[in-house]
Chains A and B, each alone.
Chain A
Amino acid sequence: MLHATDLLGGEAYDRDGHFVGHVTELFIEPADQPNRVSRVLLGRGKFLPLVARYDTLAFVAPGIIRLNVLEKELEHYEPNEGWLSLRKDLLDQQIIDTSGRKVVRVNDIDLSEHRTHETIELRVTQVDVGLTGAARRLLHGIASANMVRGLARKLPTRVIPWEFVNLIEPDPLRRVKLRISHQKLERMHPADLADIMEDLSPAQRQSIIASVDEQTAAEALAELDKRLTTQIVETLDPEKAADILEEMYPDQAADVLADLTPESSREVLREMPGDEAREVRELLKFDENSAGGMMNTDFIFVGEKATREEVIDWINEKDVNLEQLDTVFLINEDAKFSGAVAVGRLLFAPPNEPMESLKSVPLLSVPPDAGEKEIFEIFDKYNLHSLAVVDKAGRPMGAIEVDDVVTRLRNR
């Protein structure tokens, strides 16, 4: 196994054994092969640097590279945005370790050698983020190679396999050229992604939000520190912001919009489709610390006379987030709120049991202007999962979920 530190700064010789230059950079072309070192940049002091392709490497060892071509056959170096440079883009930079769900800094890069016919291919296998890499970087060229190796063996290693490395490139064009996709981030739990984003700089955060799909972006934003969410959404263009907010629950979207400046909030709302915008606008009218500000308008309500089977079938047809579903609300003939049924009760009820007889007692609801403290007390006293918010006429307006309560309690 070789390390980028061993190669960078090493000497390169051509087929006839003439000295060509020093290795100053190693490139990968992700569009071609995600981990192969496709080109080696050879610096020659005041002369133009040359580039050696992967199929011209005949021999590679720490500090030395031998080519199978002559110096004059090598191309001159032309900068290419599509090449990932190991030294400039990777060494010392921050990356996301998608398996450990952390932001880490690259100390060294480990390469493996693959022999084909007459040439040697170098492939990036893992990045070193631990003390071994640090020791190599520090002592390279100062202590003897053997000493460094001996020391590195004694130190604990911390490496991240290349397939779990997620680069963060703030420039969107370059991101496309380098084929940096954030699919791995999309598979992460939104809360982990949010934690990662808190460790990054604003530009990097923006790059992640811009490149993951809207659903992931929405979920991560909802988990993020409020101040950061505001910052990120304000910097996005209104259209993109609207796309992301659409994926959120209306109450979350309203929370985000409430913190924006009035102008940007209006711009984002203008980009949202009519229905959703109306819902969010309604929610925005309420004081943030009242029941109206806490409630979510995405909730399930059914007639109280409906049977268990009818309700289950109806929910089945709807596109409902089942993970979050814990209560079904009931309304009577006057469309007034008349009860709440826990999903647990629903689960074990006989098929033709009317919903009416399943509802929890006592009948609990709050008006939209009920204070935060009162709501916390009700949740605590009755051990609720969700609580209905009803208007003056007794019609259901929304529901407050226990996770909203937990978030607010924690932020107090």
Chain B
Amino acid sequence: MKRAARERKVQNVAVIGEREEQKQPPDNQPPVVRWKLVPGWVEPWSALLSQWGKRTRLWRRRLLLFLAVVGPGVITSNVDNDAGGISVYSQAGAMYGYALLWSLIPMTIALYVTEEMCARMGVVTGKGLSDLIREEFGFRPTFFVILAGLVVDMGNVAAEFAGVAASMQIFGISKYISVPLAALAVWLLVLRGTYQQVEKIFLAACVLYLSYVASAFLAKPDWLAAAHDTVIPTLHMNGGYLLMMIALVGTTIAPWQFFYLQAGFVEKRVLARQYKQARADVLVGSVSCMAIVFFIIVCTGATLFVSGHHVINNAAEAAQALAPLAGKWAGALFAFGLLNASLFAASILPLSTSHVICEGMGFEAGIDNKFKEAPIFYSLYTGMIVVGAAVILIPNAPLQKILFLSQVGNGVYLPVVLIFMLLLVNRRDLMGAFVNTRTMNLVGWVTAISVISLTFILLYVSLFRSGGLP
């Protein structure tokens, strides 16, 4: 490089940019370079395009505003459909056909209302949920909330790896290969990325949930009946049916998601004036999450339920039972969906949990830090993945039990988080004009209390009634 410069010494003058100067139009206007390849052909099209551009400007502007904020809401809601969730949904479809579809509408509302509160807190205060609990309720409550979170989420991580193992077994890959590989992939993804990159990968993973839509179509369901049962509630007064409904709620609204959602908006630096977009993000997230649930239930309802294959134990079994009924592809897509969901949740859960712990305890956190800057964060993150994967690798590990226990843990932990959230979101000194209105509070508390009581019923039944739900 230096030699080249020296050689040029002889010429002495090499004004770079002369080429462009000639192109420049007179006076100080920005130069316009036109590429007229086929003049008569390009011009009308560009005119049309610009006209179209003008007409859609408002919409494009809105879309851009929305896209700048989109992410946390969509990701969080979709991660809700994790290994445990998909198991319950496929059971619901297999056992009761379309009869539970109507409950998805109130569940969408509950999911949206609770998530919206967190999104609002994140956007308005610019602080994470554990940050706020620490600042407003002190050290000890925070410590126990966080400790409980660690234990429960640990169980969930193990459950996700169980999902990986089960789905890969359908494709004939031993869990001793699939689980370590998945753990390594998940670990590297976060360790090597920045928040923006990782978020993009996560958003892409959301699209993969569409495999459930495909497998639902392959199952050739009676769409009319499905639509009917979605809109018109059919209540069966039998214990199993009610239980299944409770399980649906319990798996859909998970406690850790609130921490992740709020942190997502904080890390994205969404401003209070962008709150509308943030809310839209949450809405899109909850609706799309529930749409996937709909397709899973329809898929198993149209095949397993109709053919009398009512009792399945988990999502992997559903995928296997699906193959002879709806074709190889439906089963494979179903299994692939499970793999994607498990991997997705397995990457987010350890990340979210270590974030929450470090935030609340005042350690450096966040994947934009290096290992040296945030040693505790990375140790926790690595530890959770290693332990979660190792539990699954124990020969004859009771995968089903792990899945079940993680759901129970969620159920116990959820009320605590919901109550903290409702207390915080009503604090005028924190939220200012964005404090809950009376209607919001009403909806919020009704949602919280019904979710809490439903999960308690589920807990009671599963703990004291043998032969209850999974």
| Complex-state Cα separation, A188 to B8, whole angstroms | 45
- Name which residue of chain A comes closest to B7, CB basis: A362
**CB-CB < 8 A to B170: which residues of A?**
none
Q: State in angstroms the CA–CA spacing of A353 and B20 once bound together.
A: 35
Within the assembled complex, what's the spacing in Å between the Cα atoms of A345 and B281? 58
Query: When the two chains form their complex, are residues B24 and A367 in contact, meaning their CB atoms are under 8 A apart?
Result: yes
Contact B134 A105 (CB under 8 A): yes
Digit string of A370-412 for contact with B (CB within 8 Å is 1, else 0)?
Answer: 1000100010111100000010100000000000000000000
A202 contacts the other chain (CB 8 A): yes
**CB under 8 Å from chain A, chain B span 169-192:** none
Could you say which residues of chain B place their CB within 8 Å of the CB of A363? 12-15
CA of A374 to CA of B18 in the docked complex: distance in angstroms?
A: 13
B5 is an interface residue with CB less than 8 A from chain A:
yes
A144 within 8 A of B: no
User: Smallest CB–CB gap between B247 and chain A, Å?
Assistant: 35
Known A-B contacts A138-B140, A362-B12, A381-B1; the reply to A370 vs B361 at CB < 8 A is no
Interface string of A178-222 (1 = CB under 8 A from B): 000000000000000000000011111000000000000000000
- Shortest CB-to-CB span from A103 to chain B, Å, is 9
Which of chain A's residues has its CB closest to B9's CB? A361
Which of A137, A366, A367, A380 has a CB less than 8 Å from the CB of B139? Answer: A137
* Whole-angstrom CA separation of A129 from B362 in the bound complex: 8
Whether A335 sits at the interface, judged by CB under 8 Å, is: no
Is A93 part of the contact surface with B, judged by Cβ < 8 Å?
Answer: yes
Q: Tell me the smallest distance from the CB of A322 to a CB of chain B, in Å.
A: 27
Contacts of A296 in B (CB 8 A): none
| CA A102 to CA B139, docked complex, whole Å | 21
C-alpha gap A390/B18 in the complex (Å): 11
Nearest CB in chain B: distance from A409 CB, A: 16
Q: Is the CB of B20 within 8 A of A367?
A: yes
Contact B5–A202 (Cβ < 8 Å): no
Q: Which residues of A contact B140 (CB under 8 A)?
A: 137-138
| Complex alpha-carbon distance, A267 and B149, angstroms | 48
B138 CB-CB contact with A under 8 Å: yes
> Known: A92-B138, A201-B127, A362-B13. Contact between A134 and B361, CB under 8 A?
yes
Q: Is A265 an interface position by the 8 A CB rule?
A: no
Contacts of A102 in B (CB 8 A): 364
Question: Which A61-104 residues sit within 8 Å CB-CB of chain B?
Answer: 91-94, 102, 104
- Count: A-B pairs, CB below 8 Å: 96
Q: Interface residues of A, CB < 8 Å — how many?
A: 42
Question: CB distance A369 to B126 under 8 Å?
Answer: no
Asked whether A107 is an interface residue with its Cβ less than 8 Å from the other chain, the reply is: yes
| A148 within 8 Å of B (CB atoms) | no
Q: Does chain B have a CB within 8 A of A318?
A: no
Q: Are B134 and A366 touching (Cβ within 8 A)?
A: no
**Contact between chains at B21 and A381 (CB < 8 Å):** no
Beta-carbon contact of B9 and A370 below 8 Å: no
A203 to B266, CA, bound (A): 13
Complexed CA–CA distance, A92 and B359 (Å): 11
A361:B16 contact, CB within 8 angstroms: no
The answer to whether B143 and A92 touch across the interface, beta carbons within 8 angstroms, is no
A369/B24 in contact, CB under 8 A: yes
Cα distance A137–B361 in the bound complex, in angstroms: 11
- Chain B hits for A366, CB < 8 A: 16-17
B31 at the interface (CB under 8 A from A): yes
Shortest distance between the CB of B400 and any CB in chain A (Å) = 36
Contact code string A259-289 (vs B, CB < 8 Å = 1, else 0): 0000000000000000000000000011100
- Does A357 sit within 8 A of B, measured CB to CB? no
Contact residues, B33-74 vs A (CB, 8 A): none
Closest A residue to B18 by CB, please name it: A367
Q: CA of A382 to CA of B16 in the docked complex: distance in angstroms? A: 12
CB distance from B244 to the nearest CB of A (A): 41
Q: How many angstroms between the C-alpha atoms of A129 and B139 in the bound complex?
A: 12
- CB contacts under 8 Å to A, within B114-160, are 125-127, 134-135, 138-140, 142-143
B2 on interface, CB distance cutoff 8 Å: yes
Q: How far is the CA of A92 from the CA of B139 in the complex (A)?
A: 7
Q: Does A46 contact B (CB under 8 A)?
A: no
Contact B4 A381 (CB under 8 A): yes
**Which B residues are in CB contact (< 8 Å) with A204?**
126
State A106–B139 Cα separation when bound (angstroms). Answer: 10
A228 interfacial contact with B, CB 8 Å: yes
Assembly CA distance A392 to B28 (angstroms): 9
Once A231-B271, A365-B16, A370-B17 are accepted as A-B contacts, the answer to whether A201 and B126 lie under 8 Å apart by CB is yes
The yes or no answer to B269 lying at the interface (CB within 8 A) is: yes
Cβ of A227 under 8 Å from chain B: yes
**A349, CB-defined interface residue at 8 Å:** no
* A165 proximity list for chain B (CB < 8 A): none
B30 within 8 A of A: yes
**Closest CB-CB distance, A106 to chain B, in whole Å?**
8
Q: Which of B30, B31, B138, B364 has the most CB of A within 10 A?
A: B30
- A201–B125 Cα distance when bound, in Å, is 7
Contact of A364 with B by CB under 8 A: yes
Kindly state whether residue B307 has any CB partner on chain A within 8 Å: no
Q: Which residues of B contact A107 (CB under 8 A)?
A: 139, 362
Contacts of A228 in B (CB 8 A): 269
Chain B, Cβ-Cβ closest to A370? B17
Tell me, in angstroms, the Cα distance from A383 to B5 when the chains sit together: 10
Q: A291 to nearest B CB, angstroms? A: 8
Q: For residue B357, give the distance in angstroms from its CB to the closest CB of chain A.
A: 12
Measured between beta carbons, the chain A residues less than 8 angstroms from B11 are 362
A-facing residues in B433-470 (Cβ within 8 Å): none
A95-143 with Cβ < 8 A to chain B: 102, 104-107, 129, 134, 137-138
Complex Cα–Cα for A134 and B139 (A) = 8
In Å, the complex CA distance between A202 and B79 comes to 28
How far is A381 from B4 in the complex, measured between Cα atoms in Å?
Answer: 9
Q: Is the CB of A202 within 8 A of B126?
A: yes
Which residue of B4, B15, B30, B362 has the most chain A CB atoms within 10 A of its CB atom? B362
Residue on B with the closest CB to A286? Answer: B30
- Rounded to whole Å, the gap between the CB of B195 and the closest CB of chain A is 12
Not counting A365-B15, A381-B5, A392-B21, a sample of 19 additional A-B residue pairs whose C-beta atoms are within 8 angstroms of each other reads A91-B138, A91-B139, A105-B361, A107-B362, A129-B362, A134-B139, A201-B126, A202-B126, A202-B272, A361-B8, A362-B8, A363-B12, A363-B14, A364-B14, A365-B16, A369-B30, A370-B16, A370-B20, A383-B1
7 pairs of A and B residues whose beta carbons are closest in the complex: A105-B362, A201-B126, A137-B139, A362-B14, A202-B126, A367-B17, A366-B17
A sample of 30 inter-chain contacts (CB < 8 A) reads A91-B139, A92-B134, A92-B138, A102-B364, A105-B134, A105-B362, A106-B362, A107-B139, A107-B362, A134-B139, A134-B143, A134-B361, A137-B139, A137-B143, A138-B140, A202-B126, A225-B269, A227-B269, A231-B271, A361-B5, A361-B8, A362-B5, A362-B14, A363-B14, A363-B15, A364-B14, A365-B16, A369-B31, A383-B5, A392-B24
